Structure 1
C-alpha cells in the first residue's frame, strides 16, 4: 500500500475528518466539494494507482491507495462511499459497526440542494427517462441540471448557481446510503432481478430502490409493475402510467378502431405512437413516465410533447444501427440485465410480429447470478435464433433449455461477437430464415470481454457497418 505522510492531529477522532472511499468520478467530485466546504479530507482506494489521483486537489494530503484502509476509516467523522464499493467490504462494514456514518455523494447533494429534485431509478430505462425529462425541462426554458448515475456527478451540478431544477438518475448502489431524499417527484420505473450478487436477494434490491421515495412530495407509479408501488401516504400526489387505457388524470395508451396507438392522459389522446422516433412498447412506457414526472415538476404539457417527438433515444439502448440486406440491426448493449432484455424483445418483437418476422437475439457476458430461464417465454414468442457470447454463455443456454425453450428456436454457441456475425450471415442467407431484425441485448455485464457496455455496443455497430460495406460490394456488378 502506498501512503502519504499524515499527522496525529489530522487523524484524531474528533477532527471532523471526511474519508472518501473510492476515487472514481463521484469520489473525485466529493473530495473537491468537501475541500471547498472547509473540511479535512482523506481518500482511500483499493487500486494502487487510481487514474484520477492526479486530479485531486493538493489540499487532500492523506491518500491511502492499494487497499481500502480500515484504520483510516476508523478515524473518520464521516465516510462518503462511492457506489461501486459494497457496504459489505470488510473495512467499511467495520466502520459501520463502530457507528461511523457512511453516506453517498447523493446524500451530500440532497442536503445542500435548494431546488426541486426529480429522482429516477429502476432496473431499466433510467438513463432514457432521465435524459428525456432533462431535455423537456431545458426545452421549456428551465435552467436544469441532469446528473447522478448518468454522466455528471450530482455534486458537480451545485456549481451552477442558476439551476432551478435537478433531474437525477439514481442507482440502487447510490440509494442504499441515502436517507430522506425529499424529491419533488420520485419514481421506480420498473423492478426486475439485477445486482443480486451485491444486494443478496430481491428484497434487499427492492429496499434499496425504494429509498428514493423517502420524503418525496409526489410520486409516479407504473401500473404494470406492483414492485414499483411505494408505501407512502394516500394523500400524496401521484400519477400512474401503463399500457392500457388510463383512468382520469392518469397516463396510458388508447388504441383506436384502426389499431393506431396513442399516448393518452385520461380520455385525451396526446400523441400518436408513430410520431415518436423511439420505438417499442417499452419506450411508450418511458414516454409516459417522462410526461408524468414533468407534470408533477411543473413542466407544460405542450412543450413536453414537442420534445418527445424530437427525442431520438440514447446510444446503446435499442439503438437502430442500420439495415443490411433487408434486416434491421439494433444495439441494446446497455441491456445488462434480464428485465432490460425482456423489454427489448417485447418492444421490438411486437413491431416485427405483424409482418411474420422474428428476431435474432445475441445474449451473454457476465450473468451476475441471474435466472435466465425467465427470458424463455419471450424468446419463444418473438425469437427464432439465439446466439450466445461471453463468459456465461454455456450457463445461459442451460437455463433456457431447462425452462423449456421452444424447438422452433435454434441456439448457437459463438463465444465472441466476431463469431456471432459469421453465424448471422449464415443464418440470414437461408431462404427459410424468418429473421427480420438482429438484436444485441446481452442481459449481462460486459467486463469479461470489454471495458464496458459502450465498448461492446460500439464493436457490434462496427461489425454491422462492416457487414453493410461487404454487402454493398457484393451487390455491385
Structure 2
C-alpha cells in the first residue's frame, strides 16, 4: 500500500530536532512532494540547519499553507487541541506525527515502550541487551535519536520510547511487542483528566502482537484484546516475568525458569527491578535470546542522572538521580530501596509549587537523614525529623563524607528543578557525580 498516493503538499508544524528529522526524511523519499515548515516561534531551533529549498514561516500560524496541505505533520509538543490544528482536522486533512511516518517506512520489527515513569531506562536497557545478544538495533523516539533518523542505517530491530503526545498522532505502527509500564498523573495541562491521558497511552497496543502490562497497575491493561494479540505481564510479586525466592535468594524469573539473582543487578530500587522484568519480557516476545547478554545486565547501571550508581567504595553507594525534578520521580526512586545502612538523601532546588507531603510516608519507612538545600529547601524540612537545612550540595557532601559507613547510600533525588543553582538537571547531576568520586 502506497500511503503517499495523492500527497503532494506536506506542511511540517514545529522545527527543532524532530521537525528537522521529518523534513530530512520527506526530502529523501522518491516522491514529488513539496515540503514547507511552520513554527510559531520567532527564532526556532534548527532554523539554520533547514534545507535552503524548504520554505519556513515563523512567528505565527499560516492557515493558507495548512489548508492547502495534503498532509500535516505536527511536532509532539503541539497539542491536537490547538485551534489551528483542529481547523485542519475538521477540513479532513490528515494530521500525523513523526512516529506515523516511521510506521509507514519501517521494515524491521519494532518494540515500543510507554508509561509515566521508567520508559527511558527500559528503552535504553532493551537496546543494550538486544545489541549484546547479537542484534543490530536502533534505539530512539522520545529518547535520544528521532525515530525517522533511525531509518538511515538498516537495522534488525527498532526499540522506541513513545510519549502520549507521540501516540496521539500514531495509528499504523505495527509492533512485535509493546509495553505500558505504569500510569501516574502527568501532563494534565494537555489532557482533561486521567482517562484521556490513559487512552493516549493505550494507543500503543492498537497494532501490537504482544501486549506487555504491569501486573501491579491495572490501568496499564488494555480495555480490549484482539484475537491475534497476546497479553504478557510483569510484576514484583506476580506475573509471567516476576521475582521468585529460592532458599532466601530473590531471582528474576520467566515463569518457572530463573534468570538471574536480583542481587546481581547494579540498578538501584525496586522500580528498576520492574524495569528489568519489562525488558526481559519485551525481548522474549521479540524472539531475542537475552541470556547471551546477561553479563551486560549485571553491569548496566542506568541512564545518566536516573538512579545511576556513580561511585561504590567500601560498600557505600553514591546514586545520582538528578533527573528526579518532581515528587513522583523521587517517590519512584525511594520505593523499595534495599539498603542495610543509612540513606543520606539530598533534596531541594526549585519546587515549582509542588506538594511535597507525599514524600513523608515513604521517608518514614526508611532509616534516612534528610538534607534540604536550595531555593525551596525550607518547604522540604517538615518531611522528616532528621531534616537539616543547607545552602548547596557541596556543603552537604563535605559534611557527611567523614561519617559514612559500610552499607550506607548517598542519593541525590531532589524532587525539584535545578535552575536556582544549575543550568539544568544534567549540570546538577554532573556536579554531584564529581563530588561522589572525590569523596568516595
Q: What TM-score results when the alignment is normalised by the length of structure 2?
A: 0.87
Aligned twin of 1:340: 329
Kindly state the Cα deviation for residue 215 of structure 1 after the two structures are TM-superposed: 1.4
1:359 aligns with 2:344: yes
Structure 2 alignment gaps of length 5 or more: 1-5
Q: 1:329 to 1:28 in 2, by over 3 A?
A: same
Q: How many residues align?
A: 431
Kindly state the Cα deviation for residue 376 of structure 1 after the two structures are TM-superposed: 2.5
Structure 1 alignment gaps of length 5 or more: 1-13, 472-477
**Cα distance in 2 between the residues matched to 1:310 and 1:328:** 15
Kindly state the Cα deviation for residue 77 of structure 1 after the two structures are TM-superposed: 2.4
Aligned twin of 2:3: none
Note the aligned Cα RMSD (angstroms): 3.0
* Structure-to-structure mapping, 1:84-95, within 5 angstroms: 84-95=77-88
Kindly state the Cα deviation for residue 116 of structure 1 after the two structures are TM-superposed: 1.5
* Structure-to-structure mapping, 1:292-303, within 5 angstroms: 292-303=281-292
**Cα distance in 1 between the residues matched to 2:346 and 2:316:** 13
Q: 1:281 aligns with which of 254, 270, 295?
A: 270
Is the 1:120–1:188 Cα contact (8 Å) retained in structure 2?
Answer: yes
1:379 aligns with 2:367: no
1:106 aligns with 2:99: yes
Kindly state the Cα deviation for residue 444 of structure 1 after the two structures are TM-superposed: 4.3
* Structure-to-structure mapping, 1:421-432, within 5 angstroms: 421-426=394-399
Q: 2:257 aligns with which of 263, 268, 277?
A: 268
Q: 2:74 aligns with which of 58, 63, 81?
A: 81
Is the 1:365–1:442 Cα contact (8 Å) retained in structure 2?
Answer: no
1:251 aligns with 2:228: no
Q: 1:223 to 1:245 in 2, by over 3 A?
A: closer
* Structure-to-structure mapping, 1:47-126, within 5 angstroms: 47-60=41-54, 62-126=55-119
1:171 aligns with 2:171: no
Q: 1:363 to 1:94 in 2, by over 3 A?
A: farther
Q: 1:141 aligns with which of 134, 140, 158?
A: 134
Q: What TM-score results when the alignment is normalised by the length of structure 1?
A: 0.81
Question: 1:138-159: CA deviations, max 9, x gaps?
Answer: 2222222111011111011112
Q: 1:447 to 1:306 in 2, by over 3 A?
A: same
Is the 1:321–1:461 Cα contact (8 Å) retained in structure 2?
Answer: yes
**Cα distance in 2 between the residues matched to 1:47 and 1:89:** 15
| 1:307 aligned counterpart, secondary structure | helix
* Structure-to-structure mapping, 1:151-170, within 5 angstroms: 151-160=144-153, 162-170=154-162
Kindly state the Cα deviation for residue 193 of structure 1 after the two structures are TM-superposed: 1.9
1:242 aligns with 2:235: yes
Is the 2:167–2:204 Cα contact (8 Å) retained in structure 1?
Answer: yes
Question: 1:115-143: CA deviations, max 9, x gaps?
Answer: 21101111222121111111222222222
Aligned twin of 2:188: 196
**Cα distance in 1 between the residues matched to 2:150 and 2:300:** 23
| 2:123 aligned counterpart, secondary structure | helix
